[in-house]
Amino acid sequence: MQEYEPKCILCNNGREIRLTGHVLCSVEGIVTPSFCCKKFEMNYLKLKPKRLTRKKKKQFSPEDFSLD
Q: What is the pLDDT of residues 29-64, one digit of tens each?
A: 999 988 988 888 888 888 887 777 777 777 888 888
Across the range 7-20, mean pLDDT stands at 91
41 contacts 13 by C-beta, under 8 angstroms = yes
Q: Is residue 57 part of a domain?
A: no
- How many structural domains compose the chain? 1
Residue 42 β-bridge partners: 11
**Residue 32 falls inside a structural domain:** yes
For 4, the 3-state DSSP assignment is: coil
Residue 67 lies in a domain: no
**Residue 12 within a domain:** yes
Classify residue 63: in a domain, yes or no.
no
Residue 13 lies in a domain: yes
pTM over 0.85: no
Asked whether residue 20 is assigned to any structural domain, the reply reads: yes
**Considering the domain boundaries, does residue 60 fall inside one?**
no
Identify whether the C-beta of residue 14 lies closer than 8 Å to the C-beta of residue 24. Answer: yes
Closest CA to 24 of 35, 5, 59: 35
Instruction: With residue 29 as reference, give the H or E element that holds it.
Output: strand 29-31
Domain limits for position 31: 1-49
pLDDT at 6: 86
